[in-house]
Amino acid sequence: MKILFFVSSMHAGGAERVAATLASAWAARGDQVILVPSYTKKGRLFYRLDRGVKLIWLADRMGWLGKTRLASVRKWFAMRRLVKETRPDVIISFLTNVNVMVLLATRGLGVPTIVCERTNPAVSTSAGKTLAWLRRHTYPWASLVTVQAQASAEPFRKMLPALQRLAVIPNPLPPELAGPFTARPVPDPDQRRRLVAMGRLVPIKRFESLIQAFAALAEGFPEWDLYIWGEGPLRAGLTQQIRDGGLEARAFLPGRSAEPWQELAKADVFVLTSEVEGFPNVLLEAMALGLACVTVDCPSGPREISNDGEDALLVPLGDQQALAGALGQLMADPVLRDVLGKHAAIAVRDRYELHEVLHQWDGLIASVREPQDQEGTA
């Protein structure tokens, strides 16, 4: 099977990581995969790809006009030419702006096209008015639209009632985190304990509420420190909040890590406090590593990943007292941390293992190719 896979870029990011994981897995099993970052500036490849993946930077096909006001027109022509040249069996596209352009560029070419939302469209504000209007009018052209969580599906269907087909497919675990779970080593009783969060330092991640919760607990748990990994525009404000709370020696903003799993592995508890998520990879990965986790019940993903709160402590969004209470419960009880972490690792490795998610993708791809295949054998 030949898969033409459009993404925005291959910089560090959740969607890019999933694209690299899927493209590499398909190529490793023998599919022809052409991965096309469509950003008008070429950028760089952050994630490793299987050597069978053919990487084409759309910027290389757009010429100097790709950097002008005609960039959208040049991108449309470049995408359309690429589809005609490669003649794929299926096109897959990630992210709203890329999806819209792909649907415009492939209109009338007769290639089955699956476009994938990477947030919860019903609550995310990442798509402005123009892009939302274009999404509403182009998505019905897709052979299939996917979202990442069940909680996203029905609200999105109500937003776009003209959608022909909508499916839910989760992100897979990276293959490096697959396989049987190996228990975490017993922590040194004299070592300081770490509460860890990860994400862009932006309002939607609600890290200010996490620092507030930690401040309320810090005196009662003097052996615990807070680490918030990530970078973003709120660094100065969060740094000031830490100073104002007298937590400079206990709460840290170490920046972006090139080795996030290694940093997660050093933690004792992971916490997710976001206002909204599409499908929080970092929660999934923390659980797979055997970390006891606290997560707010935001739309969407945490409730499904935590199995309705069975595999992680699930607290109401915006309930500061409940957040501090759940954190305190885990910080006070090493046995609960150990049991919850082991249970979480086994559960998510079973449900989100790459082979299982690829099997789901195979079913979706087969469903959009069936009419074409039947015509070819008629």
pLDDT confidence of residue 374: 44
Report how far residue 122's alpha carbon sits from residue 99's, in angstroms, rounded to the nearest whole number: 17
Structural domains of the chain, with CATH: 2-172+354-377 (3.40.50.2000), 176-351 (3.40.50.2000)
pLDDT confidence of residue 40: 75
Ranges assigned E (strand) in 144-268: 144-147, 166-168, 193-198, 224-229, 251-255
pLDDT confidence of residue 371: 59
Report how far residue 349's alpha carbon sits from residue 328's, in angstroms, rounded to the nearest whole number: 27
pLDDT confidence of residue 201: 97
Phi, then psi, of 268 in degrees rounded to 5? -110, -30
pLDDT confidence of residue 377: 33
DSSP per-residue letters across 69-113: TTHHHHHHHHHHHHHHHH--SEEEEESHHHHHHHHHHTTTS---E
Task: Say which residue the tokens 């890019």 belong to.
Answer: 16
Report how far residue 345's alpha carbon sits from residue 182's, in angstroms, rounded to the nearest whole number: 9
Ranges assigned E (strand) in the chain: 2-7, 32-37, 53-55, 90-94, 113-116, 144-147, 166-168, 193-198, 224-229, 251-255, 269-272, 292-296, 313-315
CA distances from 139 to 83, 270, 367 (A): 18, 36, 17
pLDDT confidence of residue 65: 52
Q: What is the pTM of this model?
A: 0.86
Report how far residue 136's alpha carbon sits from residue 119's, in angstroms, rounded to the nearest whole number: 16
Cβ neighbours for 329, distance < 8 A, ≥ 6 positions apart:
313, 336
Report how far residue 118's alpha carbon sits from residue 95's, in angstroms, rounded to the nearest whole number: 6
pLDDT confidence of residue 321: 97
Report how far residue 157's alpha carbon sits from residue 145's, in angstroms, rounded to the nearest whole number: 10
10-residue averages of pLDDT along the chain (378 residues): 95 86 96 93 84 94 63 89 97 95 96 91 77 93 94 90 93 86 82 96 96 98 97 97 98 92 95 93 95 95 95 97 98 97 95 94 93 44
pLDDT confidence of residue 42: 73
pLDDT confidence of residue 5: 98
